[in-house]
Amino acid sequence: MPLELNWDNAEDIGILLTERHPDVDPLTVRFTDLHRYVTELPEFKGDPKKSNEGKLEAIQMAWHEEFQDK
Tens-digit pLDDT profile for residues 6-62: 999 999 999 999 999 999 999 999 999 999 999 999 999 999 999 999 999 999 999
Amino acid sitting at position 30: R
- pLDDT of the residue at 3: 84
Better-predicted residue by pLDDT, 3 or 32: 32
Strand partners, 5: 44
- pLDDT of the residue at 70: 83
Phi, psi for residue 67 in degrees, rounded to 5: -60, -40
Q: Which residues contact 49 (CB under 8 A, 6 or more apart)?
A: none
Q: Which residues contact 29 (CB under 8 A, 6 or more apart)?
A: 37, 60
pTM given for the model: 0.94
Judge whether residue 1 has pLDDT over 80.
no
